[in-house]
Chain A
Amino acid sequence: MSGRTLYRKLWDTHVVRDYGDGSALLYVDRHLLQETSTHQSFVGLREAGRVARRTETHLAVPDHGVPTTDRSAPIADGLAAAQVEALKVNARDFGIAHIDLDDARQGIVHVIGPERGFTLPGITLACGDSHTSTHGAFGALAFGIGASDCATVVATQCLVQQRAKTLEVRLEGRPGQWVGAKDYALALIGRHGTGFATGHAIEYRGRAVDAMTMAARMTLCNMSIEAGARVGMIAPDETTFAWLEGRPHAPRGKMWEHALDYWRTLPSDGDASYDRTIELDVEGLAPQVTWGTSPQDALSIEGRVPHPDDAPDRGEAERRRRALDYMGLAAGMALQDIVIDRAFIGSCTNGRIEDLRAAADVAQGRRVSSRVRAIVVPGSTGVKRQAEAEGLDRIFLDAGFEWRHSGCSMCVAMNADRLEAGERCASTSNRNFEGRQGRGGRTHLMSPAMAAAAAIAGHLVDVREMAS
């Protein structure tokens, strides 16, 4: 028998029943819940008189629609307040652990799951949010689900799932300064298209991955969904273990040693084969930014807005024309000439302490352009406090950035943090879709260092030149 991949090992160890047609009933070890995707799940569970099968495997936290400004007053938006309250009531009624908005553990599901050690190697983890792929950075099989599936997980601890094909993404070489995980993710999607990994579970491997911090690995796995893959994973290694040890929900003492022994069996076997392999040499890679309304509209900051007629087919040419029109850009203009109104640093993609440190490195001793309103939204209250302990809040405030409470904020624009029609934003989030940051808003995706640099320059700019 040939060796197995990390994905296949996790799949095999969680099959409750194999249906024989590529689908199986898969056991779900851990479930994260947020307020916008679970209310209907509980409506259905109540109607059918269901209870939670294993209450201790769930963790609920509000993040999507929560305000990031004042947290001392009640939530001003009645609809958001009702959803946050509904999550609390649903969690209480079903015996599920719940973290309140004013709790020091609050934050974006995909930031606090790892932070709490709720996310562990070797587990299956589901959440009603597509960026659940983030948790794959720990060698977990983690994927986003809809509200119906959230209910199914609560009631049965299982889901019917289709086994994915495997895609090995090899990242080789050493990156230059100011270039990292966000640039790798955008470069991969820019070169191969948003659908390149549809139907596949990605495993990121190679020397550039080995060298990455956990924060960077989470950024990379996070954007697997933008490549079409529900699952993006990295085999657990010493970096993973060092990061997890001592976290509140991580095993302790003898159990930790036991877990380590098990986790060390998870990496893909040497003779394992993948359905597909692609490679990216990160040596010499320039910082990436998007110009259009799909994450695949990513180019090096040194580039120019493309001409629709250069698209490979008619459908793509039409899509690009529509994107140019929506973005208010002309084909052929230099990306560095794109002038911005707003900057957003945060989200489950880039809201971790390492991300804020990188942005602060750029912001230190500089001023946000007078034409730009820039906000920094930590991914969790824990990240916020850590940043404040390091003095990063002072650096941002002195430079003219706003310093906010944690939440999804301007990545999904369900709270007051949103763009007005026609406003243009340098954003560290994951999606530049039409209307994503507010109706008519225009999003350019990039890394935290690049977004900070754009906020200061007032236009898209190569952070390598600004910071050198």
Chain B
Amino acid sequence: MTPFCRLRSHALPFLEDRVDTDVIFPARFLLLMQRGDMGRYFFHDRRIDPDGGAIDGNPFDDPRHAGAQIMLAGADFGSGSSREQAVWALTGFGIRCVIAESFGEIFAANCLRNGVLAIVQPRAVVERLAILESPLEIDLEAQTIGADGESIPFDIAPSHRERLLKGWDDIDLIMEHEGARIAVFEAQQRQVQPWLYGADA
């Protein structure tokens, strides 16, 4: 996974509340099995009309936001379904950091698994960032958002921060460091809940 250290980019503002993963990535595209090209389905039904034409005025195709790697969002962003395709579409579109009032929990976990930094900020801050003309500067090491000369601090769990900074993959990390602990756990659990280890478990 690509490590996340610093990011300097304009932001794509989309401050609707309770944007669920069905809106981010409509379910009918879940039938596609290739991960490569999912950016084109990012907010598909807000960008493309049923006849295949572009929907005017949508922020995702607004030239002013072209190339944005940071997205600004409202409350409960990414709530609903656990589909990781929503995050693959987001990264496929070029976004590496989302700043929102709050996140759906599974979506936030999926962001972490894909090297996407999800930052929680009060609504007033998100709204202020949305009207800035200068780029934002995210510094994960320092846990700050640089905005027009101002430095706004943000919180992140230390283990999440480390994973993103180092670009660690969970499976590698667990297999490399925790194999012995897992084996000990299983041996103990087998004593307490032996029915979980039956032949037809």
Contact = CB atoms under 8 A, between A and B. Distances in A.
B157 A130 contact: no
B195 A255 contact: yes
Contacts of B83: 36-37, 146
B109 A146 contact: yes
A435 B26 contact: yes
Contacts of A414: 27-28, 30-31
A285 interface: no
A149 B113 contact: yes
A431 interface: yes
Contacts of A229: 105
Contact of B178 (A143, A156, A199, A319): A156
A185 B133 CA distance: 43
A150 B87 CA distance: 15
A258 B195 contact: yes
A431 B80 CA distance: 8
A290 B166 CA distance: 45
Interface string A297-322: 00000000000000000011011001
A391 interface: no
16 contacts: A27-B189, A29-B196, A37-B84, A65-B30, A80-B31, A132-B82, A143-B106, A149-B113, A156-B182, A158-B182, A194-B18, A249-B201, A316-B17, A431-B81, A434-B22, A435-B26
Contact of A195 (B15, B30, B75, B193): B75
A230 B27 CA distance: 20
Nearest to A149: B113
A318 B109 CA distance: 28
Nearest to A143: B106
Interface in A1-31: 13, 16-17, 19, 21-23, 25, 27, 29
A148 B114 contact: yes
Contacts of A65: 30-31
A62 to B, nearest CB: 12
Contacts of B27: 412-414, 435-436
B82 A129 contact: yes
Contacts of B198: 251, 255
Nearest to B195: A251
B176 to A, nearest CB: 11
Nearest to A55: B201
B119 interface: no
Interface residues of B, number: 59
Interface of B: 15-18, 20, 22-23, 26-28, 30-33, 35, 45, 50, 74-76, 79-84, 87, 102, 104-106, 109-110, 113-114, 123, 157-160, 170-171, 174-175, 178, 181-182, 185-186, 189, 192-196, 198-201
Nearest to B192: A262
Which of B20, B79, B82, B192 has most A Cβ within 10 Å? B82
Which of A16, A40, A129, A413 has most B Cβ within 10 Å? A16
Closest 6 CB pairs of A and B: A146-B84, A251-B195, A79-B31, A148-B113, A146-B110, A144-B82
Contact of B171 (A37, A155, A251): A155
A23 B157 contact: yes
A157 interface: yes
Contacts of B185: 16, 27
Given A40-B35, A148-B113, A414-B27, A435 B201 contact: no
